[in-house]
Amino acid sequence: MGVKRTVVYGIPNCDTVKKARTWLQAHGVAFEFHDFKKAGLTASIVNGWLADVPLEVLLNRRGTTWRALPDEAKAAAETQQGAVALMVEKPSIVKRPVVVVDGRVTSVGFSPDEYAARYA
């Protein structure tokens, strides 16, 4: 089997993303970083993620971005289409990091134990 392409999606100043990137580097896992604040997200990327993980996992309803949203935006996020549009418009509402290996989401968020089981 060839070398796997690993992409870490997130925001560089996010503490959880920093921990995940540091862990991957320390364990010799080669990856590309996609800063979705600068490089953005597309509906096709987010819909692809949703083929692998449920919306409830991907949409961060506990963060400050969510809490600052008007009620109409929160209501629109109840449908997958509305939630995808919201994540494209405000990528910081995505739980991060999202790690994609060979086009499939392998993890959302960071847990050293989970990373050791998946990537070490």
Catalytic residues: 14
Q: Which class for 72: exposed (0-12), middle (13-18), buried (19 or more C-beta within 10 A)? A: exposed
Q: Which helix (H) or strand (E) holds 88?
A: helix 80-89
Residues 6+ apart with CB under 8 A from 38: none
* Closest to 81 in 3D by CA, of 116, 107, 103, 55: 55
Handedness of CA 116, 95, 89, 56 (dihedral sign): positive
